[in-house]
Structures are given as C-alpha cells and as structure tokens.
Amino acid sequence: MAPDSTRPEILFERRGAAGIVILNRPQTLNAVTLGMVGALTRQLKEWEGDAAVSRVLVTAAGERAFSAGGDLRALFDLGRAGHYQAALEYWRTEYALNALIKRYRKPYVSLIDGIVMGGGAGISIHGSHRVAGDRFAFAMPEVGIGFIPDVGATWFLPRLPGELGLYCALTGERLGPADALAAGIASHRVASRRFSDLLAALCGNVPVDALLGAFAEPAGEGSLSARRPVIDRLFTGDSVEGILDALAAEASGQGADAEFARFIAASIRSKSPTSLKITLAQLRRGRNLDFAECMRTEFRIVSRLLFGHDLYEGIRSVIIDKDQAPHWRPSTLEAVSAAEVERHFQPQADELTLPSSDQ
C-alpha cells in the first residue's frame, strides 16, 4: 500500500536520555513498510553509538494497533508483478533488523497498547522489555494467509512454555495481556492510563528495570491459563494430521475442553495446508537452532513461498477482496507431501547473511 504522503511513516525523537520511535501509520494499523525498516535500522545504529542515549523507547500512533504486521499489500503487488527480488529484499532487510534488535546493547522498550502481530512482533519481541497495556493483543496469524510465522518466530515460539508456541502458530489465536505476560511475550503489565507517565519517566536517567518495576502491576489470570494442560497434551505431535486427530478425540468427549478442542480444530482446518505443515516442521526444528540459523531458515522458506500460490491467495482473501474464502492449493493436508515440505528448508545460493555479532 502506498504511504500516506501527508505524514512520515515513522518518527524519531530525542527526549532526555531516550531515543523515541513512533510507528506512524495508524490508518494501516502501523503496518511496517520497507522504508520504515530501513529508517529504523539506521536510527538504531546511530543511537547505539551515541553515549547520550541510554535507552530506546518504541511507541505507536493510534489506539488500535502497535503494529498489525508487514505491508502485505505491497508484497502482494511486488510478487504479482514478478518483482521477486524486490520482495525478498524486504524480508532480507527486515530480518537483519530483527537480529539488530535482538543483540542491541541498550535497553529497548516497546510500549504496546493494541494489536501486535507479524512484523510488529519482529520489532518488539526481540527487545529487552515489552510492556503490555490494556488493549495488548499478540498473534502470529500467518498460516491464515498462506505464509509462516517469521521475523524470528522460529526462535521465540518454540521457546514459549510447553506447546503454547505451536498452538499460537497453527491457530493464529490472540494472547491478551495476562496470557502474554505468563508466556514471556510481554515482560511487564502496565495500565494504559499510565503509559504517558511511564514514557515521561523513562526519558530520565533512572534505570529502566527500576522504573518498570515501579509501574508494573499483576496481570491476573488469562483466559488460556486453564487451557494450558490440554494445549500441552494435544499439540505434542509431529504431524498436523496427528494434532487434528487428538483434537477430534478430545472434541468427541464430554469433558470441559471438548468445545475448546472443536473450535481450535475448525480454526486450524481453515488455514493453508501447506503453511500448516511447513510451520510445524519449522517450529520443531527451531528448538535446536541458534537465532541466526532460525533467521536463515525463515529466509529459505520465504524464498520458496514467494513463488507459490497460497501466499497470494491468502492475501487476496484477507487483505484485498476481504471475502475470507481462500482457495488453497493443495486444498488438503494429505496432498502436501513430506518432500514438498522439505523442499522449503533446503540451502540456496542466495542465503541470508547476518553480521557476525548476530550469530
């Protein structure tokens, strides 16, 4: 989607000891463009070398979203026009930014009071601190658009407690503030009404951890807390079909989790079969990979998905036509072979390279 020419897409401010980032595309739920990725990368490198900046604070304009993800419409247009290398440059640059944030030498605090998904998670979750406001809602819903959870999800989702990461990846369901804090997606819970005071305080020289500790409050119990045992039990399989079988067995009973299992199974069955199988393999492998190898794995997968069918069909159905009726190809899990899944993980000539400090 073309940027709104009347406003900058991303803003940077110096306030006291803080460098402040403001995602500034509220009309698109702060979807992250290539221009924003490049600008943020350059600014972070500058601040990292500036002794007067002791912490970075990331915020967002508007009340609905911190960032709902990447600029999918722009990627759709590039791919459909055959500009595959330009599309891959977006991911190459974005993944380098994710790695930069993960190894950043100064406190990197994201103040999240709204939706945070996909690319928005990539510019927040790898930072040192992630503050959840009242409207916080985290999700990685990529399998619903024929894609995979990326921006380092191969690293962070398998490292959530139990099978919660795989549950998030295969269902795209959202985590609210309490569940996100329990999972480690968020590091602190602060009431939205106190965000402006917190931001002002963080611009001083009081240590970040001390300030966040003073502002933080108990998150309470999330809606998923009672479901964690059944999630851990039903999502242990190494095949999507096996997980769906386990959900079906649970749904056929009379237990308290039967309705939950029915809902989750229906949600999974609506996603791209190819994406589901790749995502399961991706997260299982990610358990044993270092961060840099996780990023290289994602780039290999993306480099193949870009030439396929489901990514464009998924974006069409969700973003462009909004009919929510994608026609996946293949349309069944059974038709997605192990060899087809494995093809997406193979090394390629044009690998993602990250600076040695990101390894």
Annotated active-site residue in 150, 179, 310, 313: 150
- Candidates 19, 13, 11; CA nearest to 202 is 19
Residue-level pLDDT at 6: 75
Annotated active-site residue in 69, 118, 119, 314: 119
Instruction: Provide mean pLDDT across the span 166-173.
Output: 98
Instruction: Answer yes or no: is pLDDT of 8 > 50.
Output: yes
255 pLDDT tier (thresholds 50, 70, 90) = confident
Annotated active-site residue in 142, 163, 250, 313: 142
% of residues, the chain, pLDDT over 90: 96
2 pLDDT tier (thresholds 50, 70, 90) = very low
The full set of domains in the chain, from first to last, is 1-359 (3.90.226.10)
- Give Cβ neighbours of residue 283 (< 8 Å, ≥ 6 apart): 149, 153, 154, 157, 158, 165, 166, 169
- Give Cβ neighbours of residue 126 (< 8 Å, ≥ 6 apart): 98, 99, 101, 102, 152, 156
Count of C-beta atoms within a 10 Å radius of residue 155: 24
Half-sphere exposure of residue 101, counting CA atoms within 13 Å on the CB side? Answer: 29
Instruction: Provide mean pLDDT across the span 80-88.
Output: 96
Instruction: Answer yes or no: is pLDDT of 3 > 60.
Output: no
Instruction: Provide mean pLDDT across the span 233-260.
Output: 95
Instruction: Provide mean pLDDT across the span 92-105.
Output: 98
| Active-site annotation holds for 197 | no
The tokens of 106 are what?
A: 């100064």
% of residues, the chain, pLDDT over 70: 97
Residue-level pLDDT at 45: 98
SS3 202: helix
Annotated active-site residue in 19, 70, 122, 133: 70
Listed as own residue / partner, the contacts of 250-256 with beta carbons closer than 8 Å and 24 or more positions apart are: none
Residue-level pLDDT at 1: 40
Instruction: Provide mean pLDDT across the span 201-220.
Output: 97
Q: Which amino acid is at 302?
A: V
Residues 71-82: tens digit of each pLDDT = 999 999 999 999
- Candidates 68, 7, 60, 8; CA nearest to 32 is 68
Contact by Cβ (8 Å): 51, 108: no
Residue-level pLDDT at 256: 82
Q: Which helix (H) or strand (E) holds 174?
A: none
Instruction: Provide mean pLDDT across the span 105-122.
Output: 98
Residues 311-334: tens digit of each pLDDT = 999 999 999 999 999 999 999 999
Instruction: Answer yes or no: is pLDDT of 358 > 50.
Output: no
Residue labelled with tokens 């804090």? 181
Determine how β-strand 10-15 pairs with β-strand 18-23.
antiparallel
Q: Which amino acid is at 132?
A: A
| Active-site annotation holds for 119 | yes
| Active-site annotation holds for 142 | yes
Residue-level pLDDT at 357: 53
